[in-house]
Structure 1
Amino acid sequence: MVPSLLILTDFFQAAKRALDYATNLAEPLGARLVLLHVRRDSIIDPDLLTGELSSLNQHAVKLALNRITANLPVPVVAEVDHGRVASAVADAVSRHHPALVVLGRPATEETPDELVSTTALDILRTAPYPMLVVPHNVHTTKPPRRILLAVDGEDFSLGQHTGTMRHLLDALHAELTLLHVTENTDPSESGAATLALVQRTGLTADLVQPVRSLSIDAPAPAEGILQAARPTYFDMVVLIARPRSFLGELFHHSVTAQVLLHSTVPVLVLPATE
């Protein structure tokens, strides 16, 4: 079966950047794109707090999708759904079984974190699936090669998504660096423990590129991850999201949320299994 990438679009700048990034991923992965536009007709919509909502009518949406798909260098199908984004994504995931769900992060630098669009959180809660969030100001014509995987020192499993991540690393010929944020811990001991932890998941099995380890001393995990995940050094940061981090009421204070909101490189969130 040909793998697919599911991309959300509302035709604004952030969505365009997400589509560009997904297209760069699709070529080495041999994947097709599924472009999904969700018409949110309700006036009670959390996204109204932080950003624009597309007001295009049905005919204009069709024309916009046709214009986008006609210029893409990879196979693509376009779909339109209605209602809440998370529900539409869950439905599309059940039909297409994509490798990743891809969405853009709009400019929210001046907005309090608690009011930032809850689309990413809604998707994680409704349909926990590997989710790639691309900042609105990321612009590149190359697939990511330098990937930072942040782990918290606890055992984890990605279940059915382990194969997806391994295929991604293999197809991209990516350089994988494992990051563990510590506080007053010997970096050499932390690096060895982190490598052993990830090796047990099977993610690094048979990788051609050597796996590196990086330890950063920081008072808070999110602060350390954001310090390390800079465009100068990495093209993407990968987070392991445990169900307790996105099912709880304090998601906006979690490491996952903080990195999603403030990272300057794309963030791939991998839901862990308990």
Structure 2
Amino acid sequence: MKLSLLVLTDFFQPADHALAYADALASTIGAQLVLLHVRRDALLDPEHLSGRVDTLSQEAIDLALASLTREMAAPAVAEVAHGEVAAAVAEALRRHQPALVVLGHRNTDSMPDELVSTAALDILRATPQPMLVVPVGARFAHPQRLLLALDEEQFSLGEHAGLVHHLLDALPAELTVLHVAPNQASAAAGTAAAREALARTGLALDLVTSLRTQSLVHATPGGGILEAVAGGAFDWVVLVARPRSFLGGLFHRSVTAHVLLHSPIPVLVLPAE
């Protein structure tokens, strides 16, 4: 199976950085790239007020995308869509069936989470899909150490399981299962339950060189995950996002959203059924 990565590009620095990261990743795992540029034509689009929407002509966009695809080390094609980003991504997913959507994330640490609107959050609400969110400060290194943060509940990746299996198999990487709880006893018990939940999915079979576990005591799961990655011991943090994470305004209070908005390393989000 030839993996493909769908990469959102808008010619701004966070997207350019994510594209360079995706190109390095695709070259490492033998994947191909699909560059997607979405022209946000709606006059009432709030992003026009932020200055984060390009005003290039169609000809200029076509020339820029052609230049980008030539510069990629991995095989790449590019296409342009119109309208809302989430809807355009949903259509591209249907046609290309990529293993991952890759997109950049600008630094929003100075803003309250509730006020942050990003393409990643919009896409996850509209079309839950395996997604790699690359913060602007992340430098590419072959992902060899993955931190998989899990709660105690069973989960299934459903239709995405095969592609996720293939992606992890292509890396391959050392996997550490992390469980965060407010006290040591519940952290230890939760870690054992989290490891069992992972085993039931079959994702840990023949995918990684070794499987480790880590318990962490912290007042909040999101804060604990960020504490675990702050020391630089991991290349990616992996989150399993359950459907309840995507319910309207509640999403901004979810662990997934908090880590997405503040992680200093790339975040791989795997939507559960």
Same fold per superposition (TM over 0.5): yes
Q: Which residue is 2:266 aligned to?
A: 266
Worse-matched range after superposition: 22-31 or 93-102? 22-31
Q: 1:228 to 1:77 in 2, by over 3 A?
A: same
Q: Which residue is 1:80 aligned to?
A: 80
Pair 1:199 & 2:199 matched: yes
Q: Is the CA contact 1:10–1:37 (under 8 Å) kept in the aligned structure 2?
A: yes
Q: Which residue is 1:125 aligned to?
A: 125
TM-score between both structures, scaled by the size of structure 2: 0.94
Q: Which residue is 1:39 aligned to?
A: 39
Structure 1: how far apart are the matches of 2:102 and 2:225? 21
How big is the shift at 1:117? Answer: 2.0
Task: Spell out the pairing of 1:117-156 with structure 2 (5 A cutoff).
Answer: 117-140=117-140, 142-156=141-155
Worse-matched range after superposition: 41-50 or 262-271? 41-50
How big is the shift at 1:54? Answer: 1.3
Q: Which residue is 1:215 aligned to?
A: 215
Q: Which residue is 2:172 aligned to?
A: 173
Q: Which amino acid aligns with 2:180?
A: V
Structure 1: how far apart are the matches of 2:38 and 2:127? 16
Task: Spell out the pairing of 1:3-18 with structure 2 (5 A cutoff).
Answer: 3-18=3-18
Structure 2: how far apart are the matches of 1:49 and 1:29? 39
Structure 2: how far apart are the matches of 1:120 and 1:138? 17
Q: Which residue is 1:106 aligned to?
A: 106
Q: Is the CA contact 1:155–1:197 (under 8 Å) kept in the aligned structure 2?
A: yes
What is the root-mean-square deviation of aligned Cα atoms in Å?
A: 1.6
Spell out, residue by residue over 1:37-87, the C-alpha distance to the aligned partner (whole angstroms, 9 max, x if none). 001112322434656111111111111111111111111000001100000
Task: Spell out the pairing of 1:232-271 with structure 2 (5 A cutoff).
Answer: 232-271=232-271
Q: Is the CA contact 1:21–1:143 (under 8 Å) kept in the aligned structure 2?
A: no
How big is the shift at 1:189? Answer: 3.5
Q: Which residue is 2:184 aligned to?
A: 185
Q: 1:265 to 1:50 in 2, by over 3 A?
A: farther
SS of 2:78 mapped into structure 1: strand
Q: Is the CA contact 2:146–2:174 (under 8 Å) kept in the aligned structure 1?
A: yes
Structure 2: how far apart are the matches of 1:190 and 1:152? 7
SS of 1:149 mapped into structure 2: strand
Q: Is the CA contact 1:38–1:82 (under 8 Å) kept in the aligned structure 2?
A: yes
Structure 1: how far apart are the matches of 2:67 and 2:142? 23
Q: Is the CA contact 2:38–2:82 (under 8 Å) kept in the aligned structure 1?
A: yes
Structure 1, unaligned runs of 5 or more? none
Structure 2, unaligned runs of 5 or more? none
How big is the shift at 1:20? Answer: 1.6
Spell out, residue by residue over 1:171-199, the C-alpha distance to the aligned partner (whole angstroms, 9 max, x if none). 11201010100111335433322211110
Q: Which amino acid aligns with 1:154?
A: E
Q: 1:251 to 1:98 in 2, by over 3 A?
A: same
Pair 1:27 & 2:37 matched: no
How big is the shift at 1:207? Answer: 3.0
SS of 1:250 mapped into structure 2: helix
SS of 1:154 mapped into structure 2: coil
Pair 1:157 & 2:147 matched: no
Q: Which residue is 1:224 aligned to?
A: 224
Structure 2: how far apart are the matches of 1:231 and 1:269? 21
Q: Which amino acid aligns with 1:219?
A: A
